[in-house]
Structure 1
Amino acid sequence: MRAVLTLLVNQPSQLAPIDIAVAILSGLKCSIFAKGESMKIKSSVTRVLVMSAILISALASSSGIAFSARAQGRGGGRPGGQNLSPEEQNLAKGIMTAADPAAKLKAAADLIKKYPKTSIRPRVAQALFDQIRAVTDASQKANLAQEYQKIFDQPSEQEMIMPVLIDADAAANQPEQAFAKGSEFLSHNPDSLNVLVDLMSLGTDLAKKQNPKFLSQSLQYGAHAIELIEADKKPANMDDAAWKQYKTTVLPSVYQSMGLLNLVKGDQAEAKARFMKASELAPSDAFNFLMLAGMLNDEYQNEAKHFQSMPAGPAKNDELKKAQSMLDTVIDAYAHAIALAESNANMQQVRTQYLHDLEAYYRYRHNNSTEGMQQLIDKYKPPAKP
């Protein structure tokens, strides 16, 4: 093992993260390599954001990596329909036989206007909600959701349809409207978990597109969503089974999104903490470990540059030990990320880059040998499925 670290730092390219990512994907190297008695390391000032941008491009094309809590964990309809009057039955039949969602809403309006406390109201509200949610045209979906709001005015019904309105505005590229409607709703219903998560998810999508306008609000909503989930505040329209599934699926994804949001904000320490929590909750999600490995490497390179600036002496020797320990942590994190990303086709570009960097670091710490490196990677591979 070498006794001296020599770092030659190049100035980072003055490009937006997504532009740097495109350059890397086109073949521009951003590598870390050992040569002779010194380690030459390209600047890591933008490295984490570079890797984030590459991974975000994968997020856009893989529903298995990215997450949107929209349409997850919605509760089922409540039972109802007993002891209906003949007229209620006829009105309900009119809803069932209506040709399309707009006609069904009109028929539902007739029922609710005449029988606002009908026992089938929850079931009708849920069924129409499901139909509106399935509409693919954003403008049509928004119009239907707004009509739904006028008919079904109970708090639980309003809470159910609000995420659909948010989704419709987002799909129509009108995030300002989505946040305005969602924020207004939250001012009266601050613990509406579905709305909190939907707005945070939308804010994360915007941040990925280099639009930080709603960054602060998204962080606020995400933090409150985490508080509610961890306090086991189950929404009224969710049964126990749906709530259990929601917590298992959504909580790690909320932490992951909070990591991305904090990274865009520039708070790397908080981003790291959020990604660490996400990795604990979802230990097989490679994205979290890829991000953590990049951030740990960034910390190491900053430490190594600090070491190089110190005058010779006992303090510098102690700092060398600290830098080497941090590098060993980076090596382990890279191996973990590479192992988990192996089977994900969308992550192969960044995995290849990480593998190149890992080999350089590993050789540096093991007398230019890669013996044991593959075993380190294999240690973190998920068990083979039966």
Structure 2
Amino acid sequence: MKAILSSLITLGICLTPINPILTLQPATAQTEDLSQQIEQLQEQAIQQATQGKPFESIEKFKQLLTIARQQQDRELEAFSFLGLGLNYDNIGRPQEALKEYEQALVIYREIKDRSGEATTLNNIGEVYRKIGKPNQALDYYQQALPIFEEVGNRSGEATTLNNIGLVYNNIGKPNQALEYYQQALPISREVGDRSGEATTLNNIGAVYASIGKPNQALDYYQQALPISREVGDRSGEATTLNNIGLVYRQIGKPNQALDYYQQALPISREVGNRSGEGVTLNNIGAVYRDTDRPVEAIKYLEESVTITLEMRRGLKREDRKAFLKQEEGTSIALIEILIEQNQPEKAFEWANLSTTFELADYNRLIGAGVANPEIQKEIDEWNQKSEQLNLLSQRLQEEFSIENIPGVGTQKAIS
């Protein structure tokens, strides 16, 4: 009886199974029973991960890890670390994901499993992309790509091309992003990777949306959505629903946008995709803000920022600033609405929690006249420590005003 270990590689926010990398040949009835147990656990773990049941999947991968160590099976051990990392990444715990991936990488290199090594390099790159470190992400993707080409893993090659495109789109280079997506798409189709095809179609749509071509964007999203549904990729479905909402918002149809966001949100929650949930909450909040419904806007933006802070707490201290910088638009939009609604105490609290000094309009906050004496005392102490307050105030007005910060208060695509 064979036991198959299918490595998992992250493609955007989707999961794509990679070709089998190990076959166990049982010698006795006892080892055959163990082999069957391992195979069953593998299948359950992968199925639960792809169906949006990360916590159940984590338990299965932990069971596999225990067996791997008992049997001194290094390849099964690496696979278990890889699966744990993938699940931790999906539930918004990037530091734990990196820890698991790094353990997998050491073992794959030790046993000279090139496909496993490339898969892990790609997945590490994906974590760095999500936490706002594009250069590190590119470095890992560019290590993974030639290995996939070397071993003839076409699905892994397409995945990594797609992910390099994501980085270029994130750093404002849409033309380079499109080049990589258009290399990835025919490969995914060639190898029959429907989930990868849907993800790349979604990402091409996001590029067209970002360069002001909503009709082209909608066309690609509407190709992606039925494929995600066909293959049961709930996370990918939520992503595309969110992005269709963005297009309707872009063309001035907020009610239709809200309808798609509200379809996306429960799916992201169902599958435990905290990052996708946070993005969609932000987008719903932005629609309510723009349609003059500040109470609802505050509610959704606060929920979105809460998820960002939750994810930030799981990062190393040196990684937190880059991550927060990437996500600060939602926080600043929330602070602005709270100030407009004469809630300076709450604005001050969120500013301290979720922004840096230079990016919060503290002058307006101080001028609002905080009623709570303890908070006012904190503001006064901060004010006394800022010897260059007037100079900084002018700088805020000229360089860091709410209106001029790229991405502030805008809605977000998910790639």
TM-score range, shorter chain: 0.3 to 0.5
Q: Which has the larger radius of gyration?
A: 1
Q: Which has the higher contact order (CA 8 A, sep 6+)?
A: 1
**TM-score, length-normalised on structure 2?**
0.42
